[in-house]
Amino acid sequence: MTKKTRTKNAPTWGDHTKLVRGGLERTAFGETSEALFLNSGYVYDSPETAEKRFMGEDDGYVYGRYGNPTVSMFEERLALLEGAEACYGVASGMAAVFGALACQLKAGDHVVSSKALFGSCYQVITQILPRFGINHTLVDGGDLAAWKAAITPQTKCFFLETPSNPTLDVIDLAAVCEIGKAAGVNIIVDNIFATPILQKPLKFGADVIVYSGTKHMDGQGRVLGGAIVSTKKFKEDMLKPFLRHTGPSISPFNAWVLLKGLETMKLRVEAQSISAETVAQHLGATKVIARVIYPFLDSHPKMALAKKQMSMGGTMVTFEVEGGKAKAFDVLRRLRLVDISNNLGDAKSLMTHPASTTHRNIGPEARAMMGITDGMLRLSVGLEDIKDILDDVKQALAG
């Protein structure tokens, strides 16, 4: 690899430049696009070199589970965008969520988490971590007194999603981080719905940010991936010792797809957010809709807060139809352009019924506690022409 002399001024670049050029390291061949290093192992010119590498006394890679040059470019690009010291690429968003929690927790520890969570995040906190003796308290993310009251001497982490999947709850990042900091706990933010384009949780005091690269980073429904953004110290002391030995490594190919996806992420997320806001406004004026949830709509209870901590309202719109599951399924069946899919952040508009898909496993009680109803539908707004998206949603609802 050649030296990255041209990235010297990278921290002062704008987001578009960071996303196109951040972390770029060319080989001696001078390729324009980032190289894909599709290898699992590395060779050494002598046993002494191998030993030195393993001792950390010689720069260089030792094994695919420990690192890869393409993965490093992805990690550097994302860290640069976040204004963070470090990033660790992993196999999926859930590998990021579980890794960020498990790397720092042990039996007897306690986690405080917002209750409105993606189904698998809820399972990790309420079902999987307790099997290892790690306890939790779920709080209403908007109730600052509840965050404070839930802290015990054993509390090590706060975990929260904002906006949350699928109810688009917005949590006051600065206030919750202040409470966490005062108690000396690590604050982990799942920033998947907001994306690093629209919200930068580090600015509000978060310690660790988790991402599913599968969503907006790829943005074209191709690969799974994830990332954990943190300080260098957290990466060295917590993430590396845990992740290197437990093995949720991202494939170099997937990291390469995400790296290329990052180049256009700001353009896509901003265009999709403009369309999402238009769809939300339209749905807000439609009689058959019982409720529309979108962070930048006047009707959202936390609109002012959302506007303070997000630069746009995001690519996701959630709404509720009168008539429960049967009516929600009718709407899905009638779609002609928008696909039925539980993925999100894609160039293609996708709609899902959370109660029977992403949040099916958590059961009716947990769904009720999170405010997920049987008539709720979640729309991930894509890059199609807004007229076509609106026409499709209108005709599906009109039926």
Considering only 70, 92, 230, 352, the residue that binds ligand PLP (CB under 6 A) is 92
Tell me the HSE value of 34 on the side-chain side, using a 13 A CA sphere. Answer: 32
Q: Which residue, 165 or 199, is less far from ligand PLP as judged by CB?
A: 165
Give ∠ CA 380-330-341 in degrees, rounded to 5: 30
Q: Which residue, 248 or 375, is less far from ligand PLP as judged by CB?
A: 248
Q: Does 190 bind ligand PLP (CB under 6 A)?
A: yes
Considering only 37, 74, 88, 118, the residue that binds ligand PLP (CB under 6 A) is 118
CA distance 149 to 169: 20
The nearest distance, CB 201 to ligand PLP, in angstroms, is 13
The nearest distance, CB 226 to ligand PLP, in angstroms, is 5
User: Which H or E run includes 158?
Assistant: strand 155-161
Instruction: Compute how many residues bind ligand PLP; rule: CB under 6 A.
Output: 15
Considering only 93, 252, 354, 375, the residue that binds ligand PLP (CB under 6 A) is 93
CA distance 27 to 34: 9
Q: Does 276 bind ligand PLP (CB under 6 A)?
A: no
The nearest distance, CB 109 to ligand PLP, in angstroms, is 21
Considering only 34, 75, 82, 161, the residue that binds ligand PLP (CB under 6 A) is 161
The nearest distance, CB 165 to ligand PLP, in angstroms, is 4
The window from 92-100, 229-237, 246-254, 367-375 that contacts ligand PLP (CB under 6 A) reads 92-100
CA distance 6 to 23: 10
Q: What Rg do the C-alpha atoms of the chain give, in angstroms?
A: 21
Considering only 163, 201, 226, 313, the residue that binds ligand PLP (CB under 6 A) is 226
CA distance 35 to 75: 14
**Residues whose CB falls within 8 Å of the CB of residue 382, separated by 6 or more in sequence, listed in order:** 272, 275, 338, 346, 347, 348, 349, 350, 389
CA distance 95 to 377: 26
- Residues in contact with ligand PLP by CB under 6 A are 92-94, 97, 118, 120-121, 161, 165, 190, 192, 212, 214, 224, 226
